[in-house]
């Protein structure tokens, strides 16, 4: 395989847009133990690129990993970490992969998954790919294995020298200060047909889904609107023994209460005014398969009692009939509501809740799995007719997409991709200016209370909590910052310092004092 084509393909799948990472791949020049190493690849992005880390491979750690034949995660103080993975071929260590990243990287698991997928693809090609260095004659006894080329004073003043061309820069004619990256090829999450993503959360869900599907038990899905609950429900059906039967879905919020019973149970001709013909209910139609009740929290209380009876007796009786017919159903329900709170308020039955919640699955919102934004964005661009092979996206635009909270989740991201395709149909490079106003970053400092429950580094959590409380205090004081400062135990000047430190520019505008 051609050297550049292989790396372009692999880096296309890298979880771009985090705090930054650097990647090194080395191999031995020959099978001899003392043979000099060859640099197969050095690449960086984000903060690592701005610091020029690609030119400073961690040779000691790579050599030690090869000598000990041991994978390990090495912490470099509080801020950075290095993951090293020996490359083995026919029982012998022939090279090493090293990945540097920020220790507080929000999607480090995504980087690990990328590295684990790279290793089995890379090892068979190590002898075929073109190395980047070192120059002939270098040995391991030299102070540095990969000496940097001479740097002119003018280039030194501009920043660290780059020895690796950035993907797409030459084609786009951009300078070194803008990194253009390819959009990843959309990959389906294993175990979840129709679901695109690369995050550890979705990959883990895909691994669990098979066992849950084969068990045949009822499942309750919980997730915000737009997270893809019906896709998960269909995946449960396809992976189950009922895959040959029907999959019928009904949104409980889409039907008026007067029609709900007729739709679910069916009716006999003449059973009520307007029932001119017989109707087979959805429950009977789904027999032998899976019945998906979306937004189950909106089901009327009277219907909940009848549905519970169907689940207990496995029989359905149409309106106007005395005889019940047996049904064989697996129920999958979904909601975005807090059903515990609905039960306390008397709007949802506790016994139905436990009938449905044999297994509960929580689908994380898109803001908690930013690694999935790029592949989903590419998928929706491709779906709208764009050739993603010819499109590059700037690092700033990708970072903006991954920072945005996506209150509408995947559905909102699809709208963003469709908007971009409609307004910039022939654009080969997606830049931050092409994105909608809120996604561009004007509202990226907003914090929702639900974000505070996400596991993260303590320094990040502290900043997030302070930003949330500052906004809450200012809102509670009707925009009066002096009053908000007193509520927070700060001086007015101290409050302004925190607002400036956290970049909450919308709060600096003149307003009530």
> Which pair of tokens denotes residue 104?
């507080």
Q: Which residues lie closer than 8 Å to 379 by C-beta, 6 or more apart?
A: 186, 196
Q: Is the pLDDT of residue 173 over 60?
A: no
Considering the domain 371-442, what is its CATH architecture? Orthogonal Bundle (1.10)
Q: In what order do the strands lie in the sheet with 330-335?
A: 247-251, 290-294, 330-335, 219-222, 359-362
Looking at per-residue confidence, does 143 or 303 come out higher?
Answer: 303
Distance CA 172, CA 428 (A): 9
* SS3 category, 80: strand
* SS3 category, 322: coil
Distance CA 14, CA 164 (A): 17
| Superfamily of the domain at 200-362 | P-loop containing nucleotide triphosphate hydrolases (3.40.50.300)
Helices (H), 123-180: 153-158, 169-172
47-77 pLDDT tens trace: 888 888 888 888 888 888 888 888 888 887 6
* For the chain, the helix, strand and coil percentages under 3-state DSSP, each to the nearest 5: 45, 15, 40
Q: For 341-348, which contacts have Cβ atoms below 8 Å and span 24 or more sequence positions?
A: 342/297, 347/297, 347/301, 348/297, 348/301, 348/304
324-359 pLDDT tens trace: 889 999 999 999 999 999 999 999 999 999 999 999
> Which pair of tokens denotes residue 336?
């975005």
> Percent of the chain, pLDDT > 70?
81
Predicted TM-score (pTM) of the model is 0.65
- Report whether 233 contacts 332 (CB < 8 A): yes
In the predicted model, what is the mean pLDDT of residues 5-18? Answer: 80
Looking at per-residue confidence, does 169 or 316 come out higher?
Answer: 316
> Could you state, in order of their start, the residue ranges of all structural domains in the chain?
3-138, 200-362, 371-442, 449-507
Helices (H), 275-432: 282-285, 301-313, 339-344, 350-356, 373-383, 395-403, 409-423
Q: Partners of 221 in the beta sheet? A: 334, 361
CA angle 13, 18, 19 (to 5 degrees): 135
Yes or no: domain 449-507 corresponds to CATH 3.40.50: no
In the predicted model, what is the mean pLDDT of residues 373-384? Answer: 93
304-316 pLDDT tens trace: 988 998 999 899 8
Q: Which residues lie closer than 8 Å to 201 by C-beta, 6 or more apart?
A: 364, 368, 369
Q: Which residues lie closer than 8 Å to 254 by C-beta, 6 or more apart?
A: none
Strands 219-222 and 359-362: parallel
Question: Torsions phi, psi of 132, nearest 5?
Answer: -90, -20
CATH class of 3-138: alpha beta
452-474 pLDDT tens trace: 666 555 666 777 788 888 888 88
Q: What is the mean pLDDT of the chain?
A: 80
Residue 429: left if φ>0, alpha if ψ -120 to 50, beta else—which one? beta
> Which pair of tokens denotes residue 417?
């991709």
Distance CA 6, CA 41 (A): 11
CA angle 172, 176, 179 (to 5 degrees): 65
- CA distances to 134, 175, 457, 470 from 464, in Å: 45, 34, 11, 10
393-425 pLDDT tens trace: 988 888 888 878 888 999 999 999 999 999 999
């Amino acid at each position: 395989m051609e050297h550049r084509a292989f790396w372009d393909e692999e880096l296309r799948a890298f979880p771009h847009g985090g705090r930054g990472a650097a990647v090194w791949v080395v191999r031995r020049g020959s099978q001899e133990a003392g043979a000099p190493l060859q640099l197969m690849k050095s690449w960086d992005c984000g903060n690592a690129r701005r610091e020029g880390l690609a030119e400073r491979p961690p040779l000691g750690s790579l050599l030690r990993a090869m000598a000990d034949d041991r994978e390990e995660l090495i912490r470099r103080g509080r801020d950075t970490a290095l993951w090293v993975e020996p490359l083995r071929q026919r029982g012998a260590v022939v090279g090493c992969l090293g990945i540097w990243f920020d220790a507080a990287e929000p999607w480090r698991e995504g980087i690990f998954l990328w590295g684990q997928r790279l290793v089995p693809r890379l090892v068979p090609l190590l002898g075929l790919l073109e190395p980047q260095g070192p120059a002939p004659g270098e040995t391991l006894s030299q102070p540095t294995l990969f000496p940097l080329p001479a740097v002119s004073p003018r280039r030194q003043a501009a920043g660290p020298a780059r020895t690796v061309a950035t993907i797409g820069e030459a084609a786009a004619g951009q300078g070194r200060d803008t990194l253009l990256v390819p959009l990843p090829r959309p990959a389906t999450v294993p175990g979840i047909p129709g679901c695109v993503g690369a995050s550890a959360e979705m990959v883990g869900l895909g691994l669990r889904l098979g066992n849950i599907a084969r068990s045949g038990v009822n499942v309750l899905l919980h997730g915000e609107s737009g997270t893809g609950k019906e896709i998960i429900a269909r995946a449960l059906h396809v992976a189950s023994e009922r895959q040959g039967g029907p999959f019928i879905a009904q949104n409980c919020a889409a039907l008026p209460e007067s029609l709900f019973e007729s739709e679910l149970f069916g009716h006999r001709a003449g059973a009520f005014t307007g029932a001119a013909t017989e109707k087979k209910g959805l429950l009977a139609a789904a027999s032998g398969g899976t019945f998906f009740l979306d937004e189950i929290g909106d089901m009327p209380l009277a219907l909940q009692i009848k549905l519970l009876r169907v689940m207990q007796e496995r029989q359905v009786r149409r309106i106007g009939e005395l005889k019940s017919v047996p049904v064989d159903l697996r129920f999958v329900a979904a909601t975005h509501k807090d059903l515990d709170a609905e039960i306390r308020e008397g709007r949802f039955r506790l016994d139905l809740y436990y009938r449905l919640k044999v297994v509960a699955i929580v689908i994380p919102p898109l803001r908690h799995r930013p690694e999935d934004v790029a592949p989903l964005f590419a998928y929706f661009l491709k779906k709208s007719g764009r050739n993603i092979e010819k499109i590059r996206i700037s690092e700033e635009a990708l970072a903006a997409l991954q920072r945005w909270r996506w209150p509408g989740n995947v559905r909102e991201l699809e709208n963003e991709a469709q908007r971009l395709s409609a307004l910039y149909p022939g654009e080969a490079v997606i830049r931050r200016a092409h994105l909608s106003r809120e996604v561009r970053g004007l509202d990226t400092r907003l914090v929702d209370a639900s974000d505070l429950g996400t596991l993260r580094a303590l320094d990040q959590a502290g900043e997030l909590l302070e930003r949330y409380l500052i906004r809450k205090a200012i809102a509670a004081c009707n925009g009066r910052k002096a009053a908000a400062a007193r509520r927070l135990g700060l001086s007015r000047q101290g409050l302004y310092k925190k607002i400036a430190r956290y970049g909450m520019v919308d709060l600096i505008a003149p307003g009530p004092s």
